[in-house]
Amino acid sequence: MINNNIDGDNMPIHERRQHFRIEDYVYFNYRVMEPGEMCSDRAVVDELLGKNGQRYLEASHYFQNIDYELAELTQAIALKDPALAHYLNLLNTKIDYLSRQMLMTNTIQMRKVNISLGGMAFKTSELIREKTNLKMVIYTKPKMIPIILEATVVYSQFKADNNYRTAVAFNGLTEEQEQILSQHILLGQVKSRSD
């Protein structure tokens, strides 16, 4: 389902975003950054990823390098035998998917979110104060590429069953992060239209 803001008409007008928003299920994790906390950026990222996540990140970079080489070779094969090139691409996609699923096991939970280029909203078990800074890792589709970014809490409201709806704004996304998130959101829009 596509939304134009974090929480439809229930969200104050001054907090509405001008980005396309989608309801989605995403693998992600976050860490609250306490004011004045002395902790290296690397240590926070390592904590967010965990050992499995670090292995997954290494494997993702490795796969990405192999994909560049495979693309060149497949293009050369496609000139002579398009059917073989298509078969090899499908095989590569299948292996890629299986290996990513195996690596994601026990790494992180998938959770329902409302996401855009501006930020996202999700359930938390605790109230997080407005303007609290977070460090986040989000695994993006289609290749589950993890991006590590900073965000600021816009609001955290009690809903029910000791759950809060927490909305965050992403801070200073790089061009590459924007591109990866845009692709993720576009895929979500396409999927929601076909459902």
- Which uninterrupted H or E stretch holds 66? helix 41-80
| 3-state DSSP percent of the chain in helix, strand and coil, to 5 | 45, 30, 25
Say what the pLDDT of residue 5 is: 42
Say what the pLDDT of residue 59 is: 72
Say what the pLDDT of residue 37 is: 62
Say what the pLDDT of residue 8 is: 40
Say what the pLDDT of residue 145 is: 79
Token pair 């906390």: residue = 37
Say what the pLDDT of residue 105 is: 56
Say what the pLDDT of residue 146 is: 81
Tens digit of each residue's pLDDT (9 = 90 or more) over 57-80 = 677 777 777 888 888 888 999 999
In angstroms, the CA 102 to CA 151 distance is 29
Say what the pLDDT of residue 13 is: 38
Say what the pLDDT of residue 10 is: 43
- Which uninterrupted H or E stretch holds 20? none
- C-alpha of 29 from chain center: 9
110-115 and 164-171 as β-strands: parallel, antiparallel, unpaired?
unpaired
List of the chain residues with pLDDT < 50: 1-17
Say what the pLDDT of residue 188 is: 80
Say what the pLDDT of residue 155 is: 95
Say what the pLDDT of residue 39 is: 58
Say what the pLDDT of residue 169 is: 95
